[in-house]
Chains A and B, each alone.
Chain A
Amino acid sequence: MTEISAADVAVPVVLRVNGDEYRITAEPRRTLADALRDDCGLTGTHLGCEHGVCGACTVLLDGEPVRSCLLFAVQAQDAGIRTVEGLAAADGTLHPLQEAFWRHHGLQCGFCTPGFLMLSAGMLESCPDIGDDELREALSSNLCRCTGYQTIVEAVQSVRDAGEA
């Protein structure tokens, strides 16, 4: 019989985030989003809706953009995770997408920005020549209550056009 983790016991979980290893303990019900924020101290990943609709919690799991509110930390054990904290260089130089969001006014309050950045990073890394329609459709995954989206689209398009992501 396969091992079973009891509901009320925190089990050891190793998360590999942005190249660092975090050894945490988590109850099975702990979402990856909560584990990143509360156990790893990586609060750049935001939680808006907690049911998969807003995309604020988007992180890269083995290169794919996923909703970290819909994943349990125990499921992410062996995966490579990337969060917004891993985008800028160690010396603080912004990632081209961060630079572009700033230049194109792709954010106002900034709550949705980590999710949009990770979604865009995953999208451009797997599909650097993505067409305008597909790009808009992919960005429709996430919600922003401030910008009206056009500036976000322009920011991501500019990075695609410069071939920088």
Chain B
Amino acid sequence: MKPARFAYTAPDTVEGTLDALDRFGDEAKVLSGGQSLVPMMNFRLARPEVIVDIGRVGGLDGMSAANGTLTVGARVIHARLEAPAVIKPDGRSESLGGVLGSLLPAVARYVGHLPIRVRGTFGGSIAHADPAAEWCILARTLDAEMVALRRGGERAIPAADFFETVFTTALAPEELLVAVRLPILGDDWRAGFCEFSRRAGDFAVVAAMTAVRLEPATGAIAEARVGVGGVAGVPVRLGGAEATLVGETPGAELHAAAAEMAAGEVDPVGDLHGSAAYRRDLVRAMVARALAQGAGASG
């Protein structure tokens, strides 16, 4: 179908964008890569009066690392996270190493297909808040912070408060998501990601991300994060599975126990992509595989 009529503006600065959002409030929608918004407009599930296209706004597509934090600009396209590089203070570009540097490309390849990944943006995915979106699961699992600007103010929203329900976030209509801050996991972290979808590039039926920090002296797990998508209106953290892991030494038996705990903790609703019981089984399998991947075994 064709989208309903809308007025269109394409500011070239952040200030111009904030002015437009301030002026039009909830009549306006930000258009970034258009890979989620335009399908919804074509279906007429979304009928914004005004489109504020941020495709020409400068300064939103940077990636920088400082003080243990990676800041990803809202307009960074998915494809750039397949080979993440940061700009150093001296202006040189350097590929992002470390645990996060390997995790981002491993996750990026699950996001849609090539033509989606060259248009769709990291920030767009976060703001769209599909509960099965890979970047939303990553943001929730790693306790990311979303940086939102409005005219005359800035705030950082923790992931736990940001995702409210399906396609709904804490962002106000006047707010622009400008960047997301992710912790650069140190060398003592082990992270893994695993997803099940029926065809390459589809949204996940269930996906899981795990990250554990190991005590250097003992090799025991000091801190654990287990996040899954596809089982609720938002990506969720599984505290029981996390608690199962903490204090223990990684290994097949522990991973199986944590995965079992994870499967018991979720309360998925069945739909045409999978029954509740099937999704529960997938949680068990995806969590176990993500943990094994993190521990270095083949997932």
Chain A residues with CB under 8 Å of chain B are 1-8, 27-29, 31, 34, 50-52, 55, 58, 64-67, 69-72, 74-75, 119, 123, 137-138, 140-141
> Which residue in chain A gives the minimum CB-CB distance to B33?
A70
Are the CB atoms of A52 and B114 closer together than 8 Å? no
Are the CB atoms of A5 and B38 closer together than 8 Å? no
B49 at interface (Cβ–Cβ under 8 A)? yes
Are the CB atoms of B114 and A123 closer together than 8 Å? yes
B188 at interface (Cβ–Cβ under 8 A)? no
Are the CB atoms of A5 and B9 closer together than 8 Å? yes
**B119 — which chain A residues lie within 8 A by C-beta?**
64, 66-67, 70-71
- Given A31-B2, A70-B34, are A50 and B115 neighbors across the interface (CB < 8 Å)? no
Most buried by A among B2, B8, B55, B118: B8
> Which residue in chain A gives the minimum CB-CB distance to B39?
A51
Of B7, B8, B34, the contact of A71 (CB 8 Å cutoff): B34
Q: With contacts A2-B12, A31-B38, A51-B38 known, what are 14 further pairs, Cβ within 8 A?
A: A2-B16, A4-B8, A4-B50, A5-B9, A6-B7, A7-B7, A7-B49, A8-B5, A29-B6, A29-B41, A51-B39, A58-B115, A75-B34, A137-B200
Rounded to whole angstroms, the CA-CA distance of A138 and B115 in the bound complex is 9
Rounded to whole angstroms, the CA-CA distance of A58 and B113 in the bound complex is 12
**A8 — which chain B residues lie within 8 A by C-beta?**
5
Rounded to whole angstroms, the CA-CA distance of A75 and B50 in the bound complex is 15
Are the CB atoms of B113 and A29 closer together than 8 Å? no
Are the CB atoms of B11 and A66 closer together than 8 Å? no
Are the CB atoms of A1 and B34 closer together than 8 Å? no
Rounded to whole angstroms, the CA-CA distance of A68 and B297 in the bound complex is 41
B98-147 contacts to A, CB under 8 A, are 113-116, 118-119
- Given A55-B115, A66-B118, A119-B115, are A2 and B42 neighbors across the interface (CB < 8 Å)? no
**A31 — which chain B residues lie within 8 A by C-beta?**
2-3, 38, 42
Are the CB atoms of B10 and A74 closer together than 8 Å? yes
- Given A123-B114, A140-B199, are A70 and B8 neighbors across the interface (CB < 8 Å)? no
> Which residue in chain A gives the minimum CB-CB distance to B52?
A2
Are the CB atoms of B2 and A52 closer together than 8 Å? no
Rounded to whole angstroms, the CA-CA distance of A7 and B50 in the bound complex is 8
- Given A27-B5, A31-B2, A52-B39, are A2 and B11 neighbors across the interface (CB < 8 Å)? yes
Instruction: Show 8 residue pairs from A and B whose CB-CB distance is below 8 angstroms, ordered by the A residue.
Output: A4-B8, A29-B41, A31-B3, A51-B38, A72-B51, A141-B113, A141-B116, A141-B201
B181-202 contacts to A, CB under 8 A, are 199-201
> Which residue in chain B gives the minimum CB-CB distance to A78?
B56
Rounded to whole angstroms, the CA-CA distance of A131 and B23 in the bound complex is 50
B46-62 contacts to A, CB under 8 A, are 49-51, 53, 55
> Which residue in chain B gives the minimum CB-CB distance to A123?
B114
- Min distance, Cβ B192 to any Cβ of chain A, angstroms: 21
Of A50, A66, A140, the contact of B42 (CB 8 Å cutoff): A50
